[in-house]
Amino acid sequence: MQAWIARTRAWLEPRSSLIGWAAVLAIITWFQGRALLDSIEYTFGPLRLNDDARQQIFPLFRYIDQPSAFATDYIASYYLACFPLGYWLLYAGTAKLGIDPVLTSHVLPHLLWLLTAVGLASVAHKLAGKLGALCMLGLCLGSDIYLRRMGGGLPRSFGFPVLTLALVGLAYARERWCVAAVLVGALFYPVSGVISGLALAGALLLPQRAGCSMSSRSLRGRLILLSTTAAVSIAVLVPSLIESQQYGSPVRPSELAEYPEIGPGGRYWDNSRPPFKGFIKSVPDALDPALLAAAQPWSPAARSWLAGDARRPWEGRNYRRVLWGLLALAVAGGLGLVLREPAARRVALLGLASALGYNVAVVAMPYAYLPERYSIYSGALLGTLLVSTCIAGLLPALADRWRRLRAPLMGAYVALILWLFAGRVPEAAGVNLDLTGDEPLLNAIAALPPDSLIASWPRGFANNLPYATRRRALVTFETHQAFHRGYIEEMRGRMRALIDAYFATSPEPIERLREQFGVTHLLIQRSHFKRRPPTYFKPFDGWIQQARQAARGHRYELPSQIAPASIYRFRDFELLDLSRIRPRSPP
């Protein structure tokens, strides 16, 4: 018997690492495999998409449709000018090869998500072994925060993968990987490139005694590497900076009085406009959904206990109590890791870089993008990584007689974390729109001539027009950005003309849409002229109110034009051909 045990041990020992990884893969496949496949399958529904894809994918149809409806479209040109160079090259290049941008946008998110999960698992393995990697994979593949940010194959889809690449480079002291993260970030999502660059600077310039250095180069060599990386990154960013200048200079927060679109009641949510609440206070916005976002928990009983009847699971009272205890544990364990492990000190540089980038973005807004972008990505990554690996910092090399307890204690901790927090990603994660119910109207608009220009009230259905019908739209909420002065003024002119036509009491403002702006069709909702007047945002709500007041005591013109001009009716909608607008009858 002893001989058999000895032979078995001799066979297992050189293969223990492979067996350990096979066990990790088997556990993750058992719990997450089906959900992952369901998510991929759901994503490929033809009319299922991420809502933001409606603003950043349609401009790329210019490279696939012959002739393209968007060849001279002002809005499409604006977005193409602002796209990061690598993102534009990826989509334009694949489109030239005959691959539809919609297909690319469906494939990218899950591919980038899996690369992110593998990278994070490798970092967790460096800090806490295979059990740390198992915990990281369980949490990462069960949280929908990743697909919610990556959904649609947009520039922001590259935020998590780029920062993960930087984390891998920091953890394993691979300066070339960190350099690659900076350059890839500049090409695809500059926020991630800035964070990676600041972390790289810390790893290259901090003194050796800080324990963060990862380069054997001389100080001169490190400075050359850092300056070269920065120069190449800036060179990569210059084309989009130059192109975007043709739409005016960026609007600063100090210009709120002149451009209320950027302030309260304007185009953007609270987290995308000043005042910003600060880096530390914004981190929970990323950590909570990263830990507890999955709709299908591994343990429904644990989820029920944590969340109770709260609308969102992280608002549950028990969750908050558990989180505070876990954070105390994580801080203690993380401190232990940082004190003992150079890899942990280097990884922590990414958090410091994110905090610095956040504060720079607040001061330099909008030149360094929105500050929230600096906390949402690093907060999710580093928070989940800390929870997954902190136990290793609390269990240093034990005395010989206790050393055998290290693996069971780590295993118990990982099992508890996965039992409390892990889940299966919902199949619709990252896909928050299903346009199937509107397919008849979409098909009717898609059948119009390619040079058609559709005007419609910009909120709601109008946002789907360029993406789902491949026809131009005069203005939509999704594409109504407020970053550059020239673009803002152009959208103001279009929106003012639309408001005047929508609430007109005579045909002239409607004819102006056709003659001055080239609008061929106007999609209206009958309910807008009854008890449900439409709204928008500042300063347009004031203009809407003025137009409606001016129409009091008169009959709106558009409802009277339905009979001669409508070419398609669907539910509450009427699609009007402006060439059929009936002129005012002579008195």
3-state secondary structure 172-210: CCCHHHHHHHHHHHHHHCHHHHHHHHHHHHHHHHCCHHH
- What is the pLDDT at residue 408? 85
Question: What per-residue confidence (pLDDT) applies to 344?
Answer: 93
7-21, 283-297, 494-508, 523-537: least confidently modelled range: 7-21
Q: Where does the pLDDT of residue 354 fall: very low under 50, low under 70, confident under 90, or very high at 90 and above? A: very high
CATH 3.40.50 fits 435-580, yes or no: yes
486-490: list long-range contacts, CB under 8 Å, 24+ apart: 486/246, 486/247, 486/248, 487/78, 487/247, 487/248, 488/248, 488/251, 488/259, 488/261, 489/248, 490/74
Give the burial class of 473: count Cβ atoms within 10 A of its Cβ; 0-12 exposed, 13-18 middle, 19 or more buried.
buried
pLDDT in tens, 68-127: 889 999 999 999 999 999 999 999 999 999 999 999 999 999 999 999 999 999 999 999
| Of 303, 306, 277, nearest in space to 376 by CA | 277
Q: How confident is the model at residue 11 (pLDDT cuts 50, 70, 90)?
A: very low
Comparing C-alpha atoms, which of 203, 155, 157 is closest to residue 178? 203
Sign of CA dihedral 27, 28, 31, 33: negative
Q: Where residue 12 falls among pLDDT bands split at 50, 70, 90?
A: very low
Task: Print burial letters for 284-294: b (CB count within 10 Å at least 16), e (below 16).
Answer: ebbbbbbbbbb
pLDDT for position 323 = 86
Q: Over the chain, what is the mean pLDDT? A: 89
Check pLDDT > 50 for residue 400. Answer: no
pLDDT score recorded for residue 16? 61
Lowest-confidence range among 5-9, 32-36, 409-413? 5-9
Higher-pLDDT residue of 45 and 355 is 355
d(CA 433, CA 425): 17
Structural contact between residues 350 and 175, judged by C-beta atoms closer than 8 angstroms: no
The ranges of the chain annotated as CATH 3.40.50 are 435-580
Lowest mean pLDDT among 338-342, 352-356, 456-460: 338-342
Q: What is the pLDDT of residue 154?
A: 96
| pLDDT category of residue 399 using cuts at 50, 70 and 90 | very low
Least confident piece of the model among 64-73, 172-181, 459-468, 561-570: 64-73
**Of 83-87, 232-236, 264-268, minimum mean pLDDT range:** 264-268
Taking 90 as the threshold, does the pLDDT of residue 195 lie above it?
Answer: yes
Q: Say which residue the tokens 């990414």 belong to.
A: 350
Please tell me the distance from the alpha carbon of residue 70 to that of residue 72, in angstroms, as a whole number. Answer: 5
Which region among 303-317, 430-444, 530-544 has the lowest average model confidence (pLDDT)?
A: 303-317
Could you tell me which of 137, 182, 114 has the C-alpha nearest to residue 21? 137
Angstrom distance (rounded) from CA 64 to CA 81: 18
- pLDDT band per the 50, 70, 90 thresholds, residue 209: low
Please give the Cα distance from 534 to 420 (Å, whole number).
Answer: 45
- pLDDT (tens digit per residue) in 363-388: 888 777 888 899 999 999 999 999 99
- Which amino acid is residue 451, in one-letter code? D
**pLDDT at res. 22:** 86
What percent of the chain lies above the pLDDT cut of 70?
Answer: 94
* pLDDT, position 358: 93
Average pLDDT over residues 462-468: 96
The answer to whether the beta carbons of residues 109 and 370 sit under 8 Å apart is no
Q: Per-residue pLDDT for 279 more than 90?
A: no
